Amino acid sequence: MHVPRPYDRPEARLAFRVDVPLSDGALVATFVYCPDDTPDDAEWALLPTPVLMLHGNGEEHGIFGRTIDAVVGTGRCVVAIDSRAQGESTRGSARLTYELMAHDALLVLDALEVDRAHVLGFSDGAIEGLLLARDHPDRIASLTAMGANLTPAGLPAEEGVETAEVAEAYELWAEQGEEGVELEDGTPVPSPDEARVVAELLRLMLDEPHIPARSLGSIVCPVTVMAGEYDVVLPCETRRIAGAIAGARLVIVPGADHVLPKVAPDVVTDELLATIESAERAYEDRTSRAATPWET
C-alpha cells in the first residue's frame, strides 16, 4: 500500500465552507479561506480576484496548505475544492472524466458568484485548469499548472503498468475485501467501497486525458507550466504543453519530483504570485487602453 507523505494543512482563516450540489447528486465540498479582516461572508468576493485551487488524483485541497496561507497573507481569498469522489466531496452518478471535474469547478465558481479566478492546479487539477483556461477564457484570469499531461502517453510506460497493477489490486479488494482491516503497523486498509473509488480514480489516469496540444493555442491568459526535475510526467510532455500556449512560462524545479505542493511549496507560491502579478498588470493595461481614446 502506498502511504502518502504528510503535508502542512492550511492555517489561514476558513471564512466558510459550502457543499455545492450538482445535477447527478454529487456534493462538491468547497472551502473559502480569507484574510482575518474580511468583514463577513458577503464581502469576500469584493477583495482582489480569488485563487481557485484544484488538487491531484486521490487527494484533497489541504495539500496546498502552505500556499493557501501565503496567498491569504497577500490579502486575497482562496477557493479550494475537494474534487468529486475525493476528500469530503461525494461521488455522484456521472462517469468520471477530467472534463466533468473541470465543469464541476466552473459550477462552484457560479455558485459562489465568482466571475473570474486565478487557477492553481496540480496533476489532475492542472489538467482541469488547462481545460478551464481553454474552454472558458472569460472566467480564468491566469493559470499555474503543475505536473499536467495531455494524454496517458505523457507518462512513462512503466508508470502505466504499475498504476494498472495497483488499480487491479484495489478492484479485487472491492470485490473480495472486508471492512475494518489493518496492516501490521496499524495502518487502516480502505474499505471495499473506498477501494472501488480509488480504483476508478486510478483508471481515470490510465484512460485519460485526451487533449490535442494544438487546442491549447486558444488559451489567452498568462500561464506558467511547472514540473519537477524528476517529475513522473515525461519532460517532452511538459515542454509540449508550454510550447502550445503562446507566451507560457516553463519552470522546472531542480531536485523536485512530481508532488511540488509538498516538496517545493515555497517555489509553487512564488511562481503562482508571479503569474498573478503578470496577469493583473496585463489586465490593467488592457483596461487602461480601452478607457483611453487613441490619439490621431
List pLDDT tens digits, range 143-201.
999 999 999 999 999 989 999 999 999 999 999 999 999 988 888 889 999 999 999 99
How would CATH label the architecture of 14-151+212-291? 3-Layer(aba) Sandwich (3.40)
Q: Please give the pLDDT value at position 187.
A: 85
Q: Please give the pLDDT value at position 1.
A: 45
**Mind listing the pLDDT tens digit for each residue in 224-235?**
999 999 999 999
Residues with Cβ within 8 Å of residue 263, at least 6 apart in sequence? 228, 256, 257
Q: Answer whether 233's CB lies under 8 Å from 155's CB.
A: yes
219: which 3 cell numbers? Answer: 488559451
Please choose, from the candidates 148, 137, 134, 117, the residue with its C-alpha nearest in 3D space to the C-alpha of residue 55.
Answer: 148
Separation of first and last alpha carbons in the chain:
70
Q: Please give the pLDDT value at position 98.
A: 98
Q: Please give the pLDDT value at position 6.
A: 82
Gap between the Cα atoms of 134 and 221, Å rounded: 9
Give pLDDT < 50 ranges for the chain: 1, 295-296
Q: Which residues of 39-62 are buried (b: 16+ CB within 10 A; e: fewer)?
A: eeeeebbeeebbbbbbbbbbbbbb
Q: Please give the pLDDT value at position 290.
A: 65
Q: Please give the pLDDT value at position 237.
A: 98
